[in-house]
Amino acid sequence: MTRLSIFTFLFSSYLLFSQGKFINPIIPGGYPDPSICRVGEDFYIVNSSFEYFPGLPIHHSTDLVNWELIGNGLHRPSQASGAVNLVDVQENGGIHAPTIRYNKGTFYIVTTNMYSQIDRNKPNKTKSNTNFIITAKNPAGPWSEPHVIEGAGGIDPDLFFDDNGKVYFVGTHNPGDMYSNGIGAIWAQELDLENWKLVGDRHSIWEGACDKRHTEGPHIYKEHGKYYLLVAEGGTSFHHAVMMAASDDIFGPYETGLRNPILTSRHLSKKNWVHSTGHADLVKLEDGRWFMVSLGKRNDRDGHSNMGRETHLMPVVWESQIVRWQQVSKTKWEPVSYLFPVVAPETGKVERINTLPFADKHQFYNDTFNDNFDAKLLAPDWVFRRVPQPNTYSLNAKKGYLRLYLKPETFEPRKRYSAMGITQKESEFEWEAKMIFNPKKNLEEAGISIYQKDINFVNLTVQKIGNEHFVKLTVKEKNNQVTAMTDSAKIPNTEVKAFKSKALPNYTGEILLKIASKNGKYLYFFSTDGGASYEKLAETPDSIVLGMMYTGANVGIYATSNGQKTTGYADFDWVNYKGFVKY
């Protein structure tokens, strides 16, 4: 058996190919806050990963429309178990809004780890905001241990390499206090990369163009003889937007473009196919053309989708804009004009179908992931909720299988339970696994899962209860909603609750579990005859794990002893994910 991680776009419509088009998002699934850089003919994007580990996923492309996940910036537990704490980080904490840059043979990622104390009366050493840099010679890794930049407050940092050899750290702060950890204004300061220290004076350089309260996500570029500062505003929801200002000096003053925002969906109907577009980065091609990447949320269900915030691509042109009028004599005023970017110049918004950046390089996409667990290392697609406990899984215990060890922990806030998954990339999909599971102790449980957060998940599992085995469906809805699905009845003659369950009197230890998303519903199936036939256990709405906040849903596998010490495990022969693109 051979693992296949397929990242090619296989659109069913040949017409789309023949017309030289691509579709957004270019990186589907929960990959928000994109930052992009180019090295020769190669492009690299890094995204936020929040509480997940490995963190800082890195995709590679040579054509801007076909992207392959090549690694993660945080890929060793040691990188995320100290000052950068992804061990017991809270939901929606962790890694926020990275920037990736390349300079003189080295790749740099700068980002923020956000952490809240579990007990403020007994705090640990983790700071609330830790801005740090990691480096690599190869973007696929290995990446360095974090270099924490002391005194760098705020979030969403940027690194700017000026053509005079100086390097600048750019961050956010509360308006009026350059040393605060808030948002709403942007600061910049020179950075000594040899010693990883800020040097010189700090400068507050801009508070944004419109709302001036949620200014964040800064990036600085030097083009047309000026410094350009790009920021996000409006908060990461329906009012999200991208703004830009320009200056002759890196420390300002920055003059806003009068056509701001340069990208937004705030003026569009909430029924538009995508919304919340913002938090962007720009890249210049070898031929002088420019493109922008930004996040956006597909409107698949009531303004949301299970994929959360995804990465989209738009063309950019530069046009002259009047920024102000200056008096040149007692009777004469003349306009002062700068070149400013115009995003998606034909329509001014993120489009689903677009002209290819390179006419001879088509987009190919088949949202499929198969893993037969024959490789020596886990594919970079697999992520855990936080740094996993030691001995959570093994690819060596049984050849051709992934062994997932049961842990006492279950889906709970800030816990490290035995769950691992991949990003859901389309609303309609199938997720299936073949599992070998022979529980020895009462209540031991393993199976497959779809999860959005610690307290928002669906588990389709096999559980030993007394001397019997059951296949069961457990539902935990978002925001602790209590419904008929979550307030489940007890399995007959037991104290165990489940939304739906069925006894398996002839269970031999081998089972196929499948979740299918279709026409607004999740359908749950199992097979005990090797896939010759499947029995439907239940169905639910597919809105259970809608991406309401920062992350998208994952599909994965899960195992727990439900509070007991155990040496139990579940062996997974293979997993198969298949998404279905909707135009």
* Residue 77 scores a pLDDT above 90: yes
Over residues 245-249, the mean pLDDT reads 97
Q: Is residue 185 part of a domain?
A: yes
| 31 vs 211, more confident | 31
* Residue 12 scores a pLDDT above 70: no
Q: Are residues 148 and 210 in the same domain?
A: yes
Q: Are residues 351 and 373 in the same domain?
A: no
Using the CB atoms, write b or e for 84-109: b if 16+ within 10 Å. bbbbbbbbebbbbbbbbbbeeeebbb
pLDDT digits (tens, 9 = 90+) for 559-578: 999 999 999 999 999 999 99
Q: Is residue 140 part of a domain?
A: yes
pLDDT score recorded for residue 16 = 53
Give the whole-number percent of the chain exceeding pLDDT 70: 96
| Alpha-carbon distances of 417 from 118, 334, 562, rounded to whole Å | 17, 65, 10
Instruction: Answer yes or no: 33 catalytic.
Output: yes
* Residue 86 scores a pLDDT above 60: yes
User: Which of 210-214, 318-322, 433-437, 510-514 has the least mean pLDDT?
Assistant: 210-214
pLDDT digits (tens, 9 = 90+) for 190-200: 999 999 999 99
Q: Are residues 316 and 435 in the same domain?
A: no
Do 460 and 447 meet the contact criterion of CB atoms below 8 Å apart?
yes
Q: Which of 33, 381, 426, 430 is catalytic?
A: 33
Q: Are residues 388 and 303 in the same domain?
A: no
* Residue 490 scores a pLDDT above 60: yes
CATH number where 300 lies: 2.115.10.20
Q: Is residue 9 part of a domain?
A: no
Q: Could you give the number of structural domains in the chain?
A: 2
Q: Are residues 305 and 424 in the same domain?
A: no
Residue span of the structural domain in which 290 resides:
22-355
pLDDT score recorded for residue 5 = 39
Whether omega for the bond prior to residue 492 falls within 30 degrees of 0, making it cis, is no
Over residues 540-545, the mean pLDDT reads 88
Q: How confident is the model at residue 278 (pLDDT cuts 50, 70, 90)?
A: very high
Q: Is residue 113 part of a domain?
A: yes
Q: Is residue 516 part of a domain?
A: yes
Task: Answer with the one of 355, 381, 403 that is the final residue of a domain.
Answer: 355
| 61 vs 5, more confident | 61
Q: Are residues 254 and 334 in the same domain?
A: yes
Over residues 169-196, the mean pLDDT reads 96
* Residue 13 scores a pLDDT above 70: no
Instruction: Answer yes or no: 255 catalytic.
Output: no
Over residues 240-253, the mean pLDDT reads 97
Q: Is residue 123 part of a domain?
A: yes
Beta strands in 158-308 (DSSP E): 158-161, 167-173, 185-192, 197-206, 216-223, 226-233, 241-247, 255-256, 263-264, 274-284, 290-298
Q: How confident is the model at residue 502 (pLDDT cuts 50, 70, 90)?
A: very high
* Residue 437 scores a pLDDT above 60: yes
pLDDT score recorded for residue 349 = 96
- Enter the pTM of the model: 0.95
Q: What angle do CA 135, 136, 141 make, to 5 degrees?
A: 125
CATH number where 437 lies: 2.60.120.200
Q: Are residues 170 and 280 in the same domain?
A: yes
Q: Which of 91, 156, 207, 216 is catalytic?
A: 216
Using CB atoms within 10 Å of the CB of residue 465, give its burial: 0 to 12 exposed, 13 to 18 middle, 19+ buried: buried
Give the whole-number percent of the chain exceeding pLDDT 90: 85
* Residue 138 scores a pLDDT above 70: yes
Q: Are residues 344 and 486 in the same domain?
A: no
Q: Are residues 27 and 123 in the same domain?
A: yes
Do 255 and 337 meet the contact criterion of CB atoms below 8 Å apart?
no
Look over the chain and give the mean of its residue pLDDT values, rounded to a whole number. Answer: 93
Task: Answer with the one of 303, 326, 355 that is the final residue of a domain.
Answer: 355
Q: Are residues 210 and 245 in the same domain?
A: yes
pLDDT score recorded for residue 211 = 80
Q: Are residues 267 and 399 in the same domain?
A: no
pLDDT score recorded for residue 2 = 42
Do 29 and 358 meet the contact criterion of CB atoms below 8 Å apart?
no
Task: Answer with the one of 320, 355, 390 that is the final residue of a domain.
Answer: 355
Q: Is residue 159 part of a domain?
A: yes
Q: Is residue 14 part of a domain?
A: no
Q: Are residues 333 and 391 in the same domain?
A: no
